Amino acid sequence: MSEQDAQQKDMASKAHADVHQDESDAAQGTTRLKIFRGDAEGGSEVEYEIPNIEGMVVLDAVLYIQAHQAGDLAVRWNCKAAHCGSCSAEINGKPKLLCKTRVEEYEGQEIRVHPMRAFPVIKDLVSDVKWNYEVARSTIPFQSDEQAPFIMYEEDVERLYEPKKCIECFMCQDVCHVLRTHHKHPEFAGPRFFVRNQWLEMHPKDTQSRLEYLKEGQGGIGYCNITKCCTEVCPVNIKITDNSIIPLKERVADEYYDPAKWLMRKIRGRRSPKTGAVVGRNGNRNGG
């Protein structure tokens, strides 16, 4: 056995421990990854070579490099179970959860790992997502006339389960061309927050309207041209465009673009966005 082989075997067994594999799944060959190294000032790709381990995800590969080859390589992660949404980055130009993406998916292809590009880079694979928390603060919060705990019926809340699945990985924000290419951050909330607003708007106990925020305010839903890249990348399969954005666009159309609706409002008075009841009389949300 050559010295190189011995070294490789050693590396492979260390990687084994990292990914909790059986000793019997010995490493087969190596994989090369190009990883962005740099910060807000700039940077470049650096190539690393690591031993293959069956079932290895890209985060394993990155952590292997961090442990054995580049101790200062920055990467953000927490759960390693596709739950916390921390490890979002871009693999070959597409947003991915590093902990959910297997290396073997890229067999025969280059693997190029970069931080999310719609946000400023802090270091290496870590980008600064704090802008999203500012948008979260601009969102009109839940408010109800009633005191929690509420009695709610299954049929009224079943549509709220899907938006609730969001793990705030912000990959939909990253891939959205309105943010990524057109940098509309100050006037566009982005798909993640349309998901959030849909949840709030459809909540049977919430009494606020967010349509003005969405159309005129920081929501900026008109910038979205429903081209569905957000839906393509969501790791929890929220149908962002079909089930959150388009329903909100339809509600905005009710309020701002539908002459018949406008006329009805003039004649019959404004109705509650929640129940269709005339608003203002007894504040009765339960009327028909």
Partner 1 sequence: MSGGTLSWSSFTARFPWWAGSVTTVAILGAFTIYSIFIVFFQPVGEYGGYLLSPMYSPPVPSPIDWLSPAIFVLWIPLGFRLTCYYYRKAYYRAFLWDPPNCSSKAQQREPRSPENYSGERNLWVFNNVHRYFLYGSIIVVAFLLYETIRAFFPDGFGITIGSLLFLLNVVLLSGYTFGCHSMRHLAGGRVDCYSCVRGGNLRRKSFQWVSVLNGRHMFWAWVSLFSVWGADVYVRLLMAGVITDLRLV
Q: Which of 33, 62, 65, 99 binds ligand FES (CB under 6 A)?
A: 99
Q: Does 225 bind ligand SF4 (CB under 6 A)?
A: yes
Helix axes 58-68, 3-19, angle to 10 degrees: 120
Chain length of the chain: 288
Q: Which of 14, 34, 83, 239 binds ligand FES (CB under 6 A)?
A: 83
Site for partner 1 in 42-101 (CB under 8 A): 90, 93-94
Site for ligand SF4 in 168-207 (CB under 6 A): 168-172, 175-178, 191-192, 195
CB of 241 to partner 1, least distance (A): 8
State the Cα–Cα distance between residues 233 and 229, nearest whole angstrom.
Answer: 7
Name the one range near ligand FES by CB under 6 A: 10-18, 31-39, 78-86, 202-210: 78-86
Q: Does 87 bind ligand SF4 (CB under 6 A)?
A: no
Task: For residue 170, give every residue at least 6 positions away whose Cβ sits within 8 Å of its Cβ, in sequence order, or none.
Answer: 85, 88, 116, 119, 129, 132, 192
Q: Does 230 bind ligand SF4 (CB under 6 A)?
A: yes
Site for ligand SF4 in 150-169 (CB under 6 A): 166-169
Q: What are phi and psi of 14, to 5 degrees?
A: -65, -45
**Residue closer to ligand SF4, measured from CB, 44 or 225:** 225
**Residue closer to ligand FES, measured from CB, 64 or 77:** 77
CB 276: neighbour CB atoms within 10 A?
11
Helix axes 191-202, 130-138, angle to 10 degrees: 30
The C-alpha torsion from 108 through 113 and 119 to 123, rounded to 10°, is -170
| Three-state DSSP class for residue 200 | helix
Q: Does 97 bind ligand FES (CB under 6 A)?
A: yes
Using CB under 6 A, list all residues that contact ligand SF4.
85, 166-172, 175-178, 191-192, 195, 224-230, 233-236, 238, 240-241, 245
